[in-house]
């Protein structure tokens, strides 16, 4: 039982990473119907910004305060990066066929990935947070470290704040209106381009928070770290219902739990098998996801 509970905690941590990145996928898709395959590389970029900023300030501001500042810097930096990407690479193609946008997203992913690879010379970077990784709360034979607790609390706070932002602010209402009908929203006085830019900014910032959390949790980063989590986050968004904010959260946490528990019983070699088997089953039996809705194409 202790081992199972430990895996549940591990699954929630892993699912938190997936959920935060999946939120960016689902927000962008909900508004511009774009599968932003560069989003995993945004996550990776956020991790590297956090690594650099924390390295600069850790001698003066160590521990969690320094990590918080580095995470905020990473969220701001990748938010700007996401905005610039949509302004330069995506906005001119919003009225083009979706295939053009999709190919452009793949190209942007390669540009970001290879740029970081060149700057880091393909080396692994080790993140020394200065925190006691073994300190935590003892529950029977299980230890829940303070690092895991803090990361879970941060994820929960972000999800609550994002939900309140989408449902309770004029900006969030504008996002939901654009996701329903872009042309009508423009006629009603909504600045569509500004709202789309804000969506990319927020989604990229959330990915950066996940990247910063990965720095603290895993203790190392590399230029290739965004590839698999990008695919897993996309899988989470599809499972939950792409375009649905609660669906992205649910899909990420569910996928993380299934991977952690399945790995415990069948071994780590089956981790990715769980993820993509679940995706295939979901597409067969519920193609719109757990919380997704059937879309009606307007002619």
pLDDT one-digit tens code per residue, 206-239: 999 999 999 999 989 999 899 889 888 888 888 8
Within a domain: residue 213?
Answer: yes
By CB atoms closer than 10 A (0-12, 13-18, 19+), residue 65 is exposed
Instruction: Please indicate, yes or no, if residue 182 is contained in any of the structural domains.
Output: yes
| pTM, full prediction | 0.90
pLDDT tens-digit readout, 158-206: 989 998 999 889 999 999 899 888 888 888 889 999 999 999 999 999 9
> Half-sphere exposure of 84 toward its Cβ, with a 13 Å CA cutoff?
9
Maximum C-alpha span of the chain: 61
**DSSP states along 30-65:** HHH----TTHHHHHHHHHHHHHHHHHHHTTTS-HHH
Inter-axis angle of helices 245-266 and 225-240, nearest 10: 120
- Evaluate whether residue 127 is within a structural domain: yes
Q: Which domain holds residue 253?
A: 2-285
Taking the chain, what is the end-to-end CA distance rounded to the nearest angstrom? 55
Whichever domain contains 26, its CATH number is 1.10.3470
How many folded domains does the chain comprise? 1
């Amino acid at each position: 039982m202790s081992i199972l509970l430990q895996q549940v905690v591990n699954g929630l941590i892993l699912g938190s990473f997936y959920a935060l990145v999946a939120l960016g996928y689902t927000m962008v898709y909900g508004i511009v119907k774009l599968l932003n395959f560069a989003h995993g590389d945004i996550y990776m970029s956020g991790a590297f910004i956090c690594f650099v900023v924390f390295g600069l300030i850790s001698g003066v501001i160590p521990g969690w305060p320094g990590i918080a500042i580095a995470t905020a810097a990473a969220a701001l930096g990748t938010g700007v990066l996401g905005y610039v990407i949509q302004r330069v690479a995506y906005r001119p193609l919003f009225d083009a066929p979706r295939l053009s946008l999709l190919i452009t997203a793949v190209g942007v992913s390669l540009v970001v990935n290879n740029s970081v690879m060149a700057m880091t010379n393909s080396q692994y970077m080790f993140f020394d947070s200065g925190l006691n990784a073994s300190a935590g709360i003892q529950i029977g034979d299980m230890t829940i470290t303070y690092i895991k607790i803090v990361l879970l609390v941060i994820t929960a706070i972000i999800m609550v704040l994002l939900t309140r932002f989408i449902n309770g602010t004029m900006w969030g209402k504008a996002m939901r209106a654009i996701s329903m009908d872009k042309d009508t929203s423009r006629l009603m006085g909504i600045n569509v381009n500004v709202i789309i830019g804000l969506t990319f900014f927020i989604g990229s910032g959330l990915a950066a928070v996940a990247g910063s959390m990965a720095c603290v949790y895993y203790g190392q980063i590399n230029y290739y770290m965004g590839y698999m989590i990008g695919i897993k986050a996309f899988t989470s968004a599809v499972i939950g219902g792409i375009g649905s904010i609660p669906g992205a959260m649910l899909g990420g946490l569910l996928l993380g739990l299934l991977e952690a528990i399945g790995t415990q019983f069948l071994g780590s070699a089956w981790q990715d098998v769980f993820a993509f088997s679940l995706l295939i089953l979901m597409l067969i039996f519920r193609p719109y996801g757990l919380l997704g809705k059937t879309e009606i194409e307007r002619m």
